[in-house]
Structure 1
Amino acid sequence: MSLVDQDAVTAKIFPHPLNAWYAVAWDHEVSNKGLLARTIAGIPMAIYRTADGRPVALADACWHRLAPLSMGKLVGSDEVQCPYHGLRYNSAGRCTAMPAQETINPSAMVPSYPAVERYRYIWVWPGDMTLADPDLIPDMHQMDSPEWAGDGLTIEAPCNYQLILDNLMDLTHEEFVHGSSIGQAELSESEFHTRLEDDGSVTVSRWMRDVAPPPFWLKNIRDRFPDFEGHVDRWQIIHYYAPSTICIDVGVAKAGTGAPEGDRSQGVNGYVMNTITPRTERSSHYFWAFMRNYRLDSQLITTQLRNGVAGVFAEDEAMLKAQQEAIDANPEHAFYSLNIDAGGMWVRRILDRMLQAEGRTGAEAPAASPAR
């Protein structure tokens, strides 16, 4: 019996919620020496730090003639000077100085968006600022925990953010897109379980028992156990947090040593950290990192893992670009859903509810079973 209805869902551009936290930059990209231009959820922003290190996100358009503030400069401890006529704005977005006049028009302001630094990222809330609770930032504690080590990069993905979420919620594509690194036939053959959790997150779990490790994982387990030979128990546990953060617990352990029951001591464990920020309807900022909990002091392993995962994600990027182009070329065509899409369908339903709460329209998703 199918877990998802086989009805079609229109392959249209999926809108993004505004009342949510989105990563706008890595912490090291934002300084008190200059301005960073980023477009978030269709909104151009000028990002910087005040002299005391606090992140600030202003609308990237001067009140006077809409010149991009990101082309300007920082003045004093927390002010931005427009590059066109020199108007200055403080971190709250209020104009503090105008050229050739002492009286400042009281309406001279630009929007200032709530901004928070957490988990090595700068996060911005582009919606109703009265709802911007920092406790709603998705849990990515592995990013700065002393028990984990790793690094990541940013992909400027030429596609709608929902296509990336689909990609990450169903990892059976690894067998076909990443056959030379992390893919193997057991991905499609093994059972998986999909759950809608009490906190509104979604979990998709898959275990592959007593299988040959693919090249990526064989290298990693030998980084910890140089003499390793034989089969492994492999796991993929996907955690989705609305609207667009997905943290994937992955790893392998020597087959039969108790990993499915909770003992991972004879293996290697990583977390693939992903948070996707819509830029426009057809482009996304895709922040990712690979974190591990073994050999924490090895910069060599950190760099090798980052570069290896970057190569894997480059294959995803090529597929996502082609998929977006096909959607644009075939606006009347539809998506159909398989059993493997159960997690992705829950994501679409959650996003649709968020959009409805904002008085906007999402895409109707086929019904999805909460468990397998």
Structure 2
Amino acid sequence: MDVVSEGVTPWIRNAWYVGCAADEVGTGPLGRTICGEKMVFFRTTDGSVSALEDFCPHRGAPLSLGFVRDGALVCGYHGLAADCRGKVSDMPGQRVGGFPAIRRYPVIERYGFIWVWPGDAEAADPAKLHHLEWAESPQWAYGGGYYHIDCDYRLMVDNLMDLTHETYVHASSIGQKEIDEAPVKTRATPEEVVTSRFMDAIVAPPFWQMALRGAGLPDDGLVDRWQICRFTLPSHVMIEVGVALQGRGGYDAEDAAKASSIVVDFITPETETSHHYFWGMARRFAIADAALTDTIREGQGRIFGEDLEMLERQQANLSRYPDRKLLKLNIDAGGVRSRMMIERAIAAEQPGAEAQETETEEMVAL
């Protein structure tokens, strides 16, 4: 499935990943494994978030089983306390001032998420966090959720960069035969991989009929539909989707004639066979309609739940037959090129490695 060298983790380490939604970190600690690193998130007295290694230096207990007191994280086993920098500050009846600091991970709270850098802390650069216009513009509404999925995170990237599966996995919501029939185009730049489909003069599937009604548009006429999937490192996929009344310009139609959205997919590796999936939809229509936001969130949740079952069973098959070779077709171009981008970035992080300036094509009939 990939060409990452033996002994090298299959994910990029020096990058910003979504560790959790901002509202997941409340008054107590939150434990989570990110890129194989066990971390604990907690808020300090000023409300800022800190992330430490989920390991008490006293007896190795998970700090996430403890509690927060006066801005310090207290181990639930023997009461050792650590501050937001990981410095051991207190323990009942003991002298712990000489204890080594607990590893601290760089974090940023932005766009409603807690972003964490699991690699070299000295290399963590806030400027490398993607700018998300929809997350800070009053012209957009957003609703989303979270799934824990037992499969390699790259299988989810494959899934999102090839939407042909919608016709089969999501037949009752967003799938339709025109997806199979429309040609898919793939292009790659040093910054992103893009796949796109455009379907003109079609009947909107059920999910998009609901969206049209929410936008105050008729749902019984023909529409022009688009899907533009954008992969960026380390493992994010933003998908521009929508429908416009037929003949009004399609993707470029004025807002009054279309229901336009971005499907938001933040894919954070947990282990080699599991990941955290933060999903949602940012939309440019009926932005003040909270009930519509809830309806779309519920609909998306069901759709992604269908993906979850398929992906977990796919992972089970691949784990059972690790030496089986899989076929690659032209529809796989987006996923394969995304994996190649990931692999180059992983290789560039290895000691003594130099970034590759050329890529080896490994596909047939792209």
TM-score under structure 1 length normalisation: 0.90
Aligned counterpart, 1:5: none
Deviation at 1:118, TM superposition (A): 1.2
Q: Which one of the candidate residues 205, 215, 236 is aligned to 1:245?
A: 236
Aligned counterpart, 1:163: 155
Aligned counterpart, 1:3: none
What do residues 169-223 of structure 1 show as CA deviations (whole Å, max 9, x unaligned)?
000110111111101111111122222235x111212111111111111121122
Q: What is the distance in 1 between the residues matched to 2:78 and 2:96?
A: 16
Aligned counterpart, 1:147: 139
Aligned counterpart, 2:40: 46
Q: Which one of the candidate residues 54, 72, 77 is aligned to 1:79?
A: 72
Deviation at 1:11, TM superposition (A): 12
Deviation at 1:140, TM superposition (A): 3.0
Deviation at 1:103, TM superposition (A): 6.0
Aligned counterpart, 1:367: 362
Greater RCO (CA < 8 Å, at least 6 residues apart): 1
What do residues 293-349 of structure 1 show as CA deviations (whole Å, max 9, x unaligned)?
111111110110000111111110010011000001111102221101111111111
Q: Is the 8 A contact 1:203 1:343 kept in 2?
A: yes
**Against the structure 1 CA distance between its residues 23 and 110, is the aligned structure 2 distance closer, same or farther, given a 3 Å change threshold?**
same
Aligned counterpart, 2:356: none
Aligned counterpart, 1:298: 289
Q: What is the distance in 1 between the residues matched to 2:230 and 2:156?
A: 14
What do residues 97-151 of structure 1 show as CA deviations (whole Å, max 9, x unaligned)?
244344622x422100001011111010010111111122233332343111121
Aligned counterpart, 1:116: 108
**Against the structure 1 CA distance between its residues 12 and 336, is the aligned structure 2 distance closer, same or farther, given a 3 Å change threshold?**
farther
Letter in 2 for 1:159: C
Unaligned runs of 5+ in 2: 354-358
1:214-363 correspondence runs (5 A): 214-359=205-350
Q: Is the 8 A contact 2:19 2:268 kept in 1?
A: yes
Q: Is the 8 A contact 1:57 1:114 kept in 2?
A: yes
Letter in 1 for 2:212: I
**Against the structure 1 CA distance between its residues 175 and 127, is the aligned structure 2 distance closer, same or farther, given a 3 Å change threshold?**
same
Q: What is the distance in 1 between the residues matched to 2:142 and 2:93?
A: 52
Deviation at 1:282, TM superposition (A): 1.1
TM-score under structure 2 length normalisation: 0.92
Q: Is the 8 A contact 2:88 2:96 kept in 1?
A: no
Q: Is the 8 A contact 2:166 2:174 kept in 1?
A: yes
**Against the structure 1 CA distance between its residues 317 and 365, is the aligned structure 2 distance closer, same or farther, given a 3 Å change threshold?**
farther
Q: Is the 8 A contact 2:234 2:342 kept in 1?
A: yes
Q: Is the 8 A contact 2:87 2:101 kept in 1?
A: yes
Q: How many residue pairs get matched?
A: 358
Q: What is the distance in 2 between the residues matched to 1:137 and 1:298?
A: 30
1:23-38 correspondence runs (5 A): 23-31=18-26, 33-38=27-32
**Against the structure 1 CA distance between its residues 139 and 195, is the aligned structure 2 distance closer, same or farther, given a 3 Å change threshold?**
farther
Unaligned runs of 5+ in 1: 1-7
Please report the RMSD computed on the Cα atoms of aligned residues, expressed in angstroms.
2.4
Q: Is the 8 A contact 1:119 1:140 kept in 2?
A: yes
Aligned counterpart, 2:121: 129
Aligned counterpart, 2:166: 174
**Against the structure 1 CA distance between its residues 368 and 55, is the aligned structure 2 distance closer, same or farther, given a 3 Å change threshold?**
farther
What do residues 233-286 of structure 1 show as CA deviations (whole Å, max 9, x unaligned)?
000111111011111110000111112445453110011101011111111110
SS of 1:294's equivalent in the other structure is coil
